[in-house]
């Protein structure tokens, strides 16, 4: 059939001419070209596009698009009618379809529609240029997928690096925290070692030369630290009485034990004897001692306290025996003699013949007085041994009886004042305060020469206070804290057993005041 030549005008439409130039233009290019009349039937199609549709050129001509490619006919027909109706081209329409040439594969075609017009501008036909963009779209799709996969991998790797970086930062922070804690602990340990009363030390196990001593060593013994690092310092400055056995003990213990402790004396720079309690740790290599480490603790005060307690125990035993001897003498020399005299008087009375009842009464009267006095003295002795009135009537009544008895016996005025003292008190607390009053008044009479004294007992639900004052000569309160007299020691010891405190104060212009405080246990309130 004759084919009209056409050309694309400036406005994008085709003018009616012979179609040879456009056909030859696309003859070798992989581009489809076809032309439809106004009834949407093929009037031209090139070989390339016909092959895509799976039919020959002749099979297309005169047939509608719906007859040739029904799967895409609807979309193509709409665009063809729009070009016929408007005369305007449609550029870049996209159709996705499966072609007979490649069944099972969806291909992408880009369609351009141009109106073929007469010289008068009337639409005569529609030309369609078809370009297969499947490869490009597949490449772009592959690129998009590759780009997406790359982005995914980058995101994953970035997340991994981010997590790793976060973990690393966390590890660095934890490490810094641990290092800071270690530094703080090291500093605290250094301060602890350098401020504790114990002297940290280290020596060579063979030479016994100190390789380290804490700064406390200077304060304890008075020797500079460099002196401690001299050869034989430890042995040379040990107390002569302890040197031999202490050295032998260390040699033996270091080979047999990994840890051991012992007490010994060293001579300070000022000549004092200082008791040390040494705690030793043995560092071994292949079983043999190579280093000794430990702490020296000053236990001089404890040793002195132990010696004081031993002396106190001895004095207590002596005092106990003296008191027993006194009671035995009083029973034998006083009470026994008075009982013997009373018995003799009774025997004489029994052997006499009295003229009247009045004579009998006159003879019995001195015997009755002697018996009453004897009974009173026995009661006094019994009360000194153990105040039964304390159990039956309480602390206030027992103290009042004690003050009255001492006042009468020694001609000293004793005033007793009490406020809020519970009627019922723990037995050990009541006995402690009673004995302190007894001992304090005994010391007042024996040492101060006082003419009067005052005892004041006050109580609350949680605490008892006792205050004893006199107008005697008094004594130095500082010396009272260190005196080793049996009376003061017994006061302190009794109060220690009930968690109490005692203090001594000089009263101006003369006299002494003793203040005692004792807490009442919650279970006894």
CB 128 within 8 A of CB 33: yes
Model confidence pLDDT, tens digit, residues 62-120: 999 889 888 888 888 888 999 999 989 988 778 877 777 677 778 888 888 888 888 88
Compare 79 and 11 and report the one with higher pLDDT: 79
Residue 210 in this model has a pLDDT that exceeds 70: yes
H helices of 444-503, in order, are: 477-482, 486-497
pLDDT computed for residue 158 by the predictor: 87
Cis peptide leading into residue 509 (ω within 30°)? yes
> What element of type H or E holds 463?
strand 463-470
pLDDT computed for residue 429 by the predictor: 87
Residue 5 in this model has a pLDDT that exceeds 70: no
CB 291 within 8 A of CB 283: yes
pLDDT computed for residue 194 by the predictor: 59
Distance CA 64, CA 62 (A): 7
pLDDT computed for residue 218 by the predictor: 85
Number of H helices, E strands in the chain: 18, 17
Distance CA 108, CA 349 (A): 159
What is the CATH T-level fold of the domain 6-132, as seen in this structure?
A: Beta-Lactamase (3.30.450)
pLDDT band at 514 (very low <50, low <70, confident <90, very high): very high
CB 450 within 8 A of CB 511: yes
Residue 10 in this model has a pLDDT that exceeds 50: no
Q: Name residue, tokens 């085709």.
A: 14
Distance CA 349, CA 367 (A): 10
pLDDT computed for residue 332 by the predictor: 57
Model confidence pLDDT, tens digit, residues 408-417: 888 899 999 9
| Residue of 406, 396, 480 whose CA lies nearest to 434 | 396
Sign of CA dihedral 119, 125, 127, 128: positive
CB 427 within 8 A of CB 494: no
Residue 53 in this model has a pLDDT that exceeds 90: no
Tokens of 152: 């995914």
For residue 424, give every residue at least 6 positions away whose Cβ sits within 8 Å of its Cβ, in sequence order, or none: 394
- Read off φ and ψ for residue 14, nearest 5 degrees: -105, 135
Distance CA 390, CA 488 (A): 22
> What element of type H or E holds 375?
helix 357-385
DSSP annotation of 215 reads: T
Work out the average pLDDT over 251-277: 91
Q: Could you tell me the strand order of the sheet in which 288-298 lies?
A: 210-213, 199-204, 288-298, 273-285, 259-267
- Read off φ and ψ for residue 414, nearest 5 degrees: -125, 120
pLDDT computed for residue 102 by the predictor: 73
Architecture of domain 199-298: 2-Layer Sandwich (3.30)
How do strand 14-16 and strand 102-117 relate by DSSP bridges?
parallel
pLDDT computed for residue 452 by the predictor: 92
pLDDT computed for residue 6 by the predictor: 39
Residue 217 in this model has a pLDDT that exceeds 60: yes
pLDDT computed for residue 245 by the predictor: 92
pLDDT band at 322 (very low <50, low <70, confident <90, very high): low
Tokens of 432: 């402690």
pLDDT computed for residue 499 by the predictor: 87
pLDDT computed for residue 409 by the predictor: 85
Residue 214 in this model has a pLDDT that exceeds 70: yes
pLDDT computed for residue 240 by the predictor: 93
Distance CA 1, CA 18 (A): 12
Work out the average pLDDT over 279-287: 91
Model confidence pLDDT, tens digit, residues 444-497: 888 888 889 999 999 887 889 999 999 888 665 555 554 555 567 778 888 888
C-alpha to C-alpha distances, 137 to 18, 105, 106, 127, 132, nearest whole angstrom:
34, 13, 11, 24, 9
C-alpha to C-alpha distances, 308 to 302, 313, 332, 484, nearest whole angstrom:
10, 8, 35, 8
Whether domain 386-524 has CATH 3.30.565.10: the reply is yes
Q: Name residue, tokens 């602890």.
A: 192
Tell the burial category of 296 from Cβ atoms under 10 Å away from its Cβ (0-12, 13-18, 19+).
buried
pLDDT computed for residue 357 by the predictor: 61
Model confidence pLDDT, tens digit, residues 341-393: 776 777 666 666 655 566 666 777 777 777 777 776 666 666 556 666 677 77
């Amino acid at each position: 059939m004759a084919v009209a030549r056409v050309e694309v005008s400036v406005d994008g439409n085709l003018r009616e001419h012979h179609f040879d130039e456009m056909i030859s233009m696309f003859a070798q290019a992989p581009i489809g070209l076809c032309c439809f009349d106004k009834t949407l039937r093929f009037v031209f199609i090139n070989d390339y596009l016909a092959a895509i549709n799976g039919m020959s050129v002749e099979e297309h001509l005169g047939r509608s698009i719906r007859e040739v490619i029904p799967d895409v006919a609807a979309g193509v027909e709409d665009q063809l009618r729009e070009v016929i109706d408007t005369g305007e081209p449609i550029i870049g329409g996209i159709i996705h379809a499966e072609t007979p040439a490649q069944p099972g594969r969806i291909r992408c075609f880009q369609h351009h529609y141009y109106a073929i017009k007469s010289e008068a501008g009337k639409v005569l036909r529609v030309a369609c240029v078809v370009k297969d963009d499947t490869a490009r779209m597949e490449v772009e799709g592959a690129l998009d997928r590759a780009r997406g996969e790359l982005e995914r991998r980058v995101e994953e790797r970035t997340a991994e690096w981010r997590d790793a970086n976060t973990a690393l930062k966390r590890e660095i922070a934890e490490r810094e925290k641990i290092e800071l804690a270690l530094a703080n602990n090291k500093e605290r340990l250094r301060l602890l070692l350098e401020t504790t009363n114990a002297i940290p030390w280290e020596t060579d196990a063979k030479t016994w030369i100190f390789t380290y001593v804490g700064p406390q060593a200077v304060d304890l013994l008075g020797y500079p630290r460099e002196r401690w690092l001299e050869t034989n310092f430890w042995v040379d400055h040990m107390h002569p009485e302890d040197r031999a056995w202490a050295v032998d003990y260390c040699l033996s213990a270091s080979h047999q034990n990994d840890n051991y402790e012992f007490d010994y004396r060293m001579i300070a720079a000022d000549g004092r004897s200082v008791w040390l309690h040494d705690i030793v740790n043995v560092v071994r290599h292949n079983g043999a001692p190579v280093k000794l480490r430990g702490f020296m603790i000053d236990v001089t005060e404890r040793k002195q306290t132990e010696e004081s307690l031993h002396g106190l125990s001895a004095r207590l035993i002596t005092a106990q025996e003296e008191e027993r001897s006194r009671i035995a003498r009083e029973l034998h020399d006083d009470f026994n003699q008075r009982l013997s005299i009373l018995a003799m008087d009774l025997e004489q009375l029994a052997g006499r013949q009295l003229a009247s009842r009045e004579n009998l009464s006159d003879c019995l009267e001195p015997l009755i007085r002697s018996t009453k006095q004897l009974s009173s003295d026995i009661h006094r002795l019994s009360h000194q041994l153990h105040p039964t009135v304390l159990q039956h009537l309480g602390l206030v009544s027992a103290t009042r009886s004690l003050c009255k008895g001492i006042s009468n016996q020694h001609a000293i005025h004793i005033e007793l004042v009490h406020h809020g003292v519970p009627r019922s008190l723990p037995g050990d607390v009541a006995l402690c305060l009673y004995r302190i009053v007894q001992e304090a008044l005994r010391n007042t009479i024996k040492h101060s020469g006082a003419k009067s004294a005052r005892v004041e007992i006050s109580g609350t639900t949680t605490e008892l206070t006792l205050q004893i004052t006199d107008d005697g000569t008094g004594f130095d309160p500082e010396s009272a804290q260190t005196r080793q007299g049996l009376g003061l020691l017994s006061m302190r010891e009794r109060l220690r057993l009930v968690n109490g405190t005692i203090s001594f104060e000089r009263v101006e212009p003369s006299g002494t005041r003793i203040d005692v405080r004792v807490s009442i246990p919650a279970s006894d309130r």
